[in-house]
Amino acid sequence: MIVRPGLITALMATLLLLAACSGGEPSTKTPAEIEAAKAAATAKAEVVKGPNGGRMLVDGDFAIEMTIYETNQEPQFRAFATLDGEPVDPKAVELAVTLKRLGGKVDAFKFTPGDGYLAGNGVVTEPHSFDVEVVAVHAGKRHTWAYENHEGRTRIAADAAREGGIAVERAGPVTLDDSRELLGTVELAPNARSQVRARFPGKVMAVNKQVGDRVRAGEVLARVESNESLQTYSVIAPVSGTIFERATNVGDVVGSEPMFVIADPAKTTVVFNIFPRDLEVIRGGQQVVITTLDGAPVGSGRLSAFLPDGNRAAGTALVRADLPNPTGQWRPGMALKGRVIIGGVQVPLAVRTDAIQPFRDFQVVFAKVGDEYEVRMLELGRKAGDYTEVLGGLDPGTTYVSKGSFLVRADVEKSGASHDH
């Protein structure tokens, strides 16, 4: 079906005239206000599609159909000119297009004749989101149009962004850490335990402490009657700590075996499993960052040398790291994670991995300019630690959403800003 530009123009004029009047009474709007109303109505008018699937731009009997062609090639503008609905020789038209992108970047395109169309002289880079200005000259007459072609863009007020937890940072150079993740178990440190024995064999006459009791150095734990002297003496706590084990009761006869084990719960370590694939890169003395299984920070320390015995059941070697535990909250047997940095490489541009979201067939982050957010399609490289290298699609120094990007993505999808040429 041929779209008749004259009919479209007449319909638009009628709609704009009706919009300028209210209730049949004369309009009190100034000429400037009427022009503004016309412009707003034009912007909101439904996009008219041409026979090639592009946007129709109409000025009297002359029209340009703007398309972006990207089948088996990089995206390129193609424009089809018509006069009173009939094709115009591309050689008879001078055409220029200017794209104004969010953030101030401007792309300008000149056009050359092709096989039935005018071809833009460059690649229309993603995202295809811009304010468009089109200037065409045919038969000595100049035609101009302006329209919005926004994609993957939304506006979020600053207070709403703060309340939603949206945070931003600038994209730039980052050292990508080459790291290994370890899984370990909390244990008491080797120097945390003290065994308490009777000085002389004899009968236990009294026991003053139970498992779990806190004791101070010098406290009486029990009283024993000596077999030789028949004198009763006190068994004293040599250190402060918690009673972890008690192996005696009133009436028992004790000899050289431990009666109590006192341990300091603040003296703990994490014993990490090292799999064979990591034996060549994990070494004693390396720093390890310790976290809970869900990533909450716990502390940091340095790895010991490999322990003499490994974990035979798991087929792993074992290393130990001291664990700061002043409150005693990390109990023996609890599982924790560790991350060991074994090297790093500086890359010129990277973004936080958690900031990357899927959008159409791309992996994207959201650039922020004022209160507006817009997708940036990324070409990604290496990933290490919290960051992923960016090889293309993002300018260094761009402010992007580093936290809460999924909220921006949801708002973009709700706004319906689609890939429309």
pLDDT in tens, 236-253: 999 999 999 999 999 999
Angle at 413 between CA 408 and CA 417, to 5 degrees: 105
Cα(41)–Cα(29) distance, rounded to whole angstroms? 15
Q: How far is CA 140 from CA 93, 94, 187, in A?
A: 9, 10, 87
Q: Taking Cα atoms as reference points, which of 318, 327, 339 lies closest to residue 267? A: 327
Each residue's pLDDT tens digit, 120-152: 999 999 999 999 999 999 999 999 999 999 999
Angle at 315 between CA 274 and CA 265, to 5 degrees: 55
pLDDT score, position 344? 82
Residue 368 has pLDDT above 50, yes or no: yes
Mean pLDDT on 354-367: 96
SS3 415: helix
Q: What residues pair up with 100 in beta bridges, in sequence order?
A: 106, 131
Is 179-188+266-344 CATH 3.90.400.10?
Answer: no
Q: Which residue has the tokens 């000596």?
A: 226
- Residue 260 CB partners (closer than 8 Å, separation 6+): 195, 196, 209, 221, 222, 235, 237, 243, 245, 246, 247, 248
pLDDT score, position 420? 56
Mean pLDDT on 283-288: 93
Spatial contact of 166 and 401, defined as CB atoms under 8 Å apart: yes
Q: What string of DSSP letters covers 285-353?
A: T-EEEEE-TT--EEEEEEB-SPPSS-BTTTTBEEEEEEEE-TT--S-TT-EEEEEEEEEEEEEEEEEEG
Q: Taking Cα atoms as reference points, which of 236, 293, 291 lies closest to residue 259? A: 236
Spatial contact of 222 and 208, defined as CB atoms under 8 Å apart: yes
Question: What are the structure tokens assigned to 396, written together?
Answer: 């260094």
Q: Tell me, rounded to whole angstroms, the distance of Cα 11 from its chain centroid.
A: 48
3-state SS of 24-62 is CECCCCCHHHHHHHHHHHHHHCCCCECCCCCEEEEECCE
Angle at 129 between CA 94 and CA 398, to 5 degrees: 120
pLDDT class of 24 with cuts at 50, 70, 90: very low
First-to-last C-alpha distance (Å) of the chain = 19
List the chain domain ranges: 5-149, 155-174+345-415, 179-188+266-344, 198-257
Each residue's pLDDT tens digit, 212-223: 999 999 999 999
SS3 133: strand
Question: What are the structure tokens assigned to 293, written together?
Answer: 């299984």
Is 155-174+345-415 CATH 3.40.190.10?
Answer: no
CATH architecture type of domain 198-257: Beta Barrel (2.40)
CATH topology of domain 5-149: Immunoglobulin-like (2.60.40)
Q: Tell me, rounded to whole angstroms, the distance of Cα 155 from its chain centroid.
A: 20
DSSP state at residue 190: G
Where residue 235 falls (left for φ over 0; alpha for ψ -120 to 50; beta otherwise) is: beta
43 C-beta neighbours (distance < 10 Å), count: 10
- Residue 18 CB partners (closer than 8 Å, separation 6+): none
Beta strands in 105-159 (DSSP E): 106-113, 118-120, 130-138, 141-149, 153-155
Cα(376)–Cα(153) distance, rounded to whole angstroms? 10
What percentage of residues in the chain have a pLDDT greater than 90? 80
pLDDT score, position 418? 55
pLDDT score, position 179? 86
What percentage of residues in the chain have a pLDDT greater than 70? 88
> Which range, of 184-188, 193-197, 323-327, averages the lowest pLDDT?
323-327
Radius of gyration of the chain (CA): 38
